[in-house]
């Protein structure tokens, strides 16, 4: 069982930056692939970024590639999402998720554990 708690969301102007954190409970955190997803009002949840359990392999949605960076610190049971050059279209609730499959994945059905989400609002 893994419990996830996101933090770091907020209101920022376009072009600004935010760093999201996701703290995980559970002694086997290092064996989970981790992902970030987001959901805007009236839209489906979409993939943002994912990272393999080793931290050496990452994957990004095209819409955030070059602007967002996912990382993890297994010693702290925490995964991060550094978001730079934010745009109004990045506004959404951001969720972190954990997958017992050690490979990173864009498929949200591969993730068994989800946090409660943190709101990110980017003003124009």
Antiparallel, parallel or unpaired: β 10-13 and 118-123: parallel
| Residue 79, beta-bridge partner list | 22, 72
Residue 106: per-residue pLDDT: 94
| Regions of the chain short of the pLDDT cut 70 | 27
Q: What is the pLDDT of residue 120?
A: 98
pLDDT of residue 29: 78
Please give the pLDDT value at position 30.
79
Q: How far apart are the first and last CA of the chain?
A: 40
pLDDT score at 101: 78
Q: What are phi and psi of 122, to 5 degrees?
A: -115, 120
């Amino acid at each position: 069982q893994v419990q996830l708690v996101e933090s770091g969301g907020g209101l920022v102007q376009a072009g600004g930056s935010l760093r999201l954190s996701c703290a995980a409970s559970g002694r086997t955190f290092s064996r989970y692939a981790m992902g970030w997803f987001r959901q805007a009002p009236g839209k489906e949840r979409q993939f943002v970024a994912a990272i393999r359990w080793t931290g050496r392999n990452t994957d990004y949605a095209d819409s955030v590639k070059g602007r967002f960076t996912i990382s993890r610190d297994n010693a702290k049971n925490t995964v991060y999402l550094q978001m730079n050059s934010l745009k109004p279209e990045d506004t959404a609730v951001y969720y972190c998720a954990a997958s017992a499959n050690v490979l990173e994945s864009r498929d949200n059905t591969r993730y068994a554990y989800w946090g409660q989400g943190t709101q990110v609002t980017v003003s124009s």
